[in-house]
Amino acid sequence: MAISDYFVWETRRRALNQALVAEFPDTVAAYGMSFIAGRRFIVELPELELHIRPADDGNLTDDLVVFTYTCIAHSSKLARVLRTAGVDNIDYYPLRIVRDATAEVYRTHEAANILDVTFCIDREKSDLSVGDENPRDLWYINRLVVNHERLGDALCFRLGERPSTVIVHRRVKEAVEDAGISGPVFLPVEGYREYRGFGENNPMNVIGTHDEDPDGPADALPDVAPDDWDDEPEADAEATENE
């Protein structure tokens, strides 16, 4: 497997009529467990609850768009596609989604806990912003290069140095795209860079970008008015709610 066979999995709201979840349940505070730590939970979790505020309402994407998170709430369709592609390192937990505007409740998705974590950043070749006192304190990824020797034959894993970042093999990317899954955007791992405006006015939930970003490189701070958005839904967005 070559480095070019790996992609960063982004989860974005790509149209105004797609839903955005503002907050994910704080499982660290409640249960001492994190969905981005890459560790299996040792206690049973109750059914988690997500809320879609009226201002962020819309169709549910298969890879549900949760602000500042990626690849963390999957529809049953997406879970099947990943299993078929050979991904066997994701634990799923019950999840209900509440549409605040109508009080409707959906149980079409599950919370996804990706178990594998791989420390693989090539620090000599990558362009990183790090702490002045502790160079292991990673502030921003300005240009990512990974150490291929550490990847083995991994299909899906969290980046050890930045566990909020999910990386998948081309096989997974193509399976997800061929199935018409809504929500994910895949960016080549070589040259991936974090978006410095991700915590600002960021209605699309852009976390990272690339010169080959299908939505165009996002390097400036967000200045996108809702009227400028594409109103067309992503493929199968409506179908997700009815699955």
Question: 180, 176, 167, 212: which is closest to 7 by C-alpha?
Answer: 167
pLDDT for 232 beyond 70: no
Cα–Cα distance, 93 to 152 (Å, whole number): 28
What is the Cα–Cα distance from 185 to 187, expressed in whole angstroms? 7
Q: Is the pLDDT of residue 1 over 60?
A: no
Angstrom distance (rounded) from CA 186 to CA 10: 6
14/203 Cα distance (integer angstroms): 9
Query: Is the residue at 240 inside a domain?
Result: no
Please indicate, yes or no, if residue 242 is contained in any of the structural domains.
no
179-203 average pLDDT score: 91
Q: Which domain holds residue 104?
A: 3-215
Over range 191-215, report the average pLDDT: 90
pLDDT of amino acid 220 = 72
Does the residue 236 lie in any domain? no
Q: How many domains does the chain have?
A: 1
- pLDDT for residue 237 is more than 60: no
Structural domain includes residue 124: yes
User: In the predicted model, what is the mean pLDDT of residues 116-126?
Assistant: 95
Question: What tokens appear for 234 in the block?
Answer: 């992503």
Kind of pairing between the strands at 109-114 and 138-143: unpaired
Instruction: Look at residue 237 and tell me if it is in a domain.
Output: no
For 77-104, how does the pLDDT look when each residue is reduced to its tens digit (9 = 90+)?
999 999 999 999 999 999 999 999 999 9
Confidence (pLDDT) at 222: 54
Residue 203 predicted with pLDDT over 50 = yes
Is residue 126 over pLDDT 50?
A: yes
